[in-house]
Amino acid sequence: MGVSAIKSLREKTGAGIMDCKSALQESGGDVTKAMDFLRTKGLATAAKKSGRATQEGSIASYIHAGGKMGVLLEVNCETDFVARNPEFQALVKDLGMQVAGANPAPRYVQKEDVPEELIQKERAIFRAQAIESKKPEAIIEKIVEGKVDKFVQSICLLEQSYVKDPQITIRELLAQSIAKVGENILIKRFVRYQLGEGEA
C-alpha cells in the first residue's frame, strides 16, 4: 500500500497509520471506500463505548459573528487526561462552531430530547399542508411522517450534517472522535444566544 495513500487518508480522517493501512487494504486501495470503512469502524467502536460513564469533560464557549452570537456547550468524557487532550478540545470547539453556524440552529442534542408536544404540533401542520395540496389520502400519512422525521433531524445536533464536512453527521464525527481517543464522549447540553433574540 503506497505511503502517499496512507498519508492522504490519515490527513482526511485523523485515524491512526495502522488503521489507515488496513482500511486501504480492505478497500483495494480506494481512498473513498477506505474512508467509509473507517467511518463504519468508528461507529462500531463508539457503540461499544457508549455505555461507559462520562464524569470529566469541558464546558466551553464559542463566540461567533463579531460577538453577536454565542454558544455555551458541555461535552463529557471519561477521564481528565482526555479532557485536556488537544483533539478533545478541538472537537469541543468544532461542536460550538456547529451550534453557532448550523442552519437551522440545533435546539436539542438528540431525537429523544425533542418534546412530544412539539412533534405533535408539527405533525398537525404537515398533515394540514398535505390535505391542502390535495395529496391522495393513501399517501398523506407517509408524507407527514417523512416530514416529521426530517424536521426532528434538522433540530437535533447529533443528526445534523457537520458544517466542516457535510458528508458526515455530528453523530459520525463523535463516533470518529471516540475511536481516536479510546473513551466515550457525550454531548451533554448546549445553549445558543443570539443578540436581540429571546430563547433560541
At 200, the pLDDT band (50, 70, 90 cuts) reads very low
Q: What is the mean pLDDT of residues 7-25?
A: 72
Q: What is the mean pLDDT of residues 187-195?
A: 91
Which residues, other chains included, contact 64 with Cβ-Cβ below 8 Å and sequence gap of 6+? Answer: 70, 71, 97, 100, 101
The correct answer on CATH 1.10.8.10 for the domain covering 3-49 is: yes
Residues of the chain with CATH 1.10.286: 115-154
Residues of the chain with CATH 1.10.8.10: 3-49
Q: Does the pLDDT at position 170 exceed 60? A: yes
Which pTM value belongs to this model? 0.69
pLDDT tens profile 60-84: 899 987 888 899 999 999 888 888 9
Looking at per-residue pLDDT, the higher value among 99 and 37 belongs to 99
Looking at per-residue pLDDT, the higher value among 43 and 132 belongs to 132
CATH class for the region spanning 115-154: mainly alpha
SS3 at position 39: helix
Q: Does the pLDDT at position 117 exceed 60? A: yes
Can you tell me the distance from the alpha carbon of 9 to that of 29, in angstroms, rounded to the nearest whole number? Answer: 10
Q: Does the pLDDT at position 167 exceed 70? A: yes
56-109+156-194: CATH superfamily: Elongation factor Ts, dimerisation domain (3.30.479.20)
